[in-house]
Amino acid sequence: MIVLSYGMTKSASSFAWLVLKEILRLGGARPIDLSPLARHHASSIDFVDPVDEPELKLVEIESGGRSVVVKTHSAISDYVAVLVQRRPTIIFLSHRDPRDIALSLMDHGARSRASGGEDFAECLDHDSTTPMVAEQVRRLMTWVRAQDVQPYSVYVDYDALCFDTEATLVKMIERLEPGLREPVCADYVAASFHDKSRIPQFNKGAPRRWEREMSETVSERYLSEFASYYEWRDLR
């Protein structure tokens, strides 16, 4: 089984990737680790970006008939529709309120500037951060609008995964069940992550930050600019 774990930046995508891999491991599926050749050279996890035909064919070759969980922030490619027909594939799509993504990006940018780093250092304020948020929404919507892969797709909301974890894990386990050899208990998976140091890039871990940290005027600006996201989210 190939599991594609797409995530908007700052949507707990690394946590989702870890959880999916843990479910497969506990279920006896023994997911493989991709080699540095197949994953992003600077990543310590199975991060593949973009997910175009050459990258996904390499994942197919390395995994063979075994399970693998691939994390990506990339927009969808045409080859994903081919992949779901060639191999047992499930796609998990992690998303988050753009307002909270913006706040998290600015936090990360402030840490980078303080330490002399470069990651998101350009995210100084809402004006400088909004274009990056817009790109994340654009990429998510390429997956959402790809009709050929919808039967294979599972949507994972940031707040649900992080703050209603066990109920969300039950749904994730149900979708992965065809690739599992043994039953998996959601609370056992959740217990594996009580130590937050296991979660890469863990930030504040707070729900709906925009309610406390964003003015009504700025909030309305995001609601207007990213209306397509909110309309899609609210219809689900």
pLDDT value, residue 45: 87
- Nearby residues of 115 by Cβ (< 8 Å), 6 or more positions away: none
The span from the CA of 1 to the CA of 17, in Å, is: 15
Give the residue among 53, 55, 63 at the shortest CA–CA distance from 29: 63
On average, the pLDDT of the chain sits at 93
Q: For the whole model, what pTM was predicted?
A: 0.93
pLDDT tens digits, 90-146:
999 999 999 999 999 999 999 999 999 999 999 999 999 999 999 999 999 999 999
Question: Is 6's pLDDT higher than 90?
Answer: yes
**How many other CB atoms are found less than 10 A from the CB of residue 177?**
12
Separation CA 48–CA 77 (nearest Å): 13
The beta strand positions in 34-180, using DSSP E, are 68-72, 89-95, 153-157
Q: Domains of the chain: which residue ranges? A: 2-235
pLDDT for position 196:
60
Q: What is the CATH number of domain 2-235?
A: 3.40.50.300
Q: How far apart are CA 121 and CA 83, in angstroms?
A: 36
